[in-house]
Amino acid sequence: MLNQVILVGRLTSDPELRKSEDGKSVTTIRIAVQRAFKSGETNEYETDFFNCTLWSGVAEATVDYCKKGSIVGIKARLAQKEHLCENKKGFSYPEIIVEKISFISSNKD
């Protein structure tokens, strides 16, 4: 079985570290990934945006070394997350959970 996602893109905002209920470090980043081809209608590159969750040391290093505009490469997995609506089952969606991050370029001073 294989569950692997690889993305390379730019951070859309500065990552901020927070603590989970059990004390683990966590951050959520949003990366912009430009498509490799131009749109037929506008003849411009389109961009996709992805929210990614980082835990523990990966989260702490990202906060320390990256800020808005930094280019990162991520190796991640998808997990199905459920959103509850008024204590009833609502809907589910895939969550990108980063296992490894590479700092390709950093805008950190």
Tens digit of pLDDT for each residue in 6-48? 999 999 999 999 999 999 999 999 999 999 888 888 888 999 9
Tokens of 39: 């749109």
Q: What value does the mean pLDDT of the chain take?
A: 91
CATH class of the domain whose range is 1-35+47-81: mainly beta
Contact of 31 with 63, CB cutoff 8 Å: no
The structural domains of the chain, with segments of one domain joined by +, span 1-35+47-81
Q: If we measure between CA atoms, which residue out of 1, 102, 101, 90 comes closest to residue 53? A: 101
pLDDT for 41-83, tens place per residue?
888 899 999 999 999 999 999 999 999 999 999 999 999 988 7
Distance CA 65, CA 42 (A): 36
DSSP 7-75: EEEEESS----EE-TTS-EEEEEEEEEEEEEE-TTT-SEEEEEEEEEEEHHHHHHHHHH--TT-EEEEE
Q: Can you give the length of the chain in residues?
A: 109
Q: If we measure between CA atoms, which residue out of 3, 94, 100, 109 comes closest to residue 54? A: 100
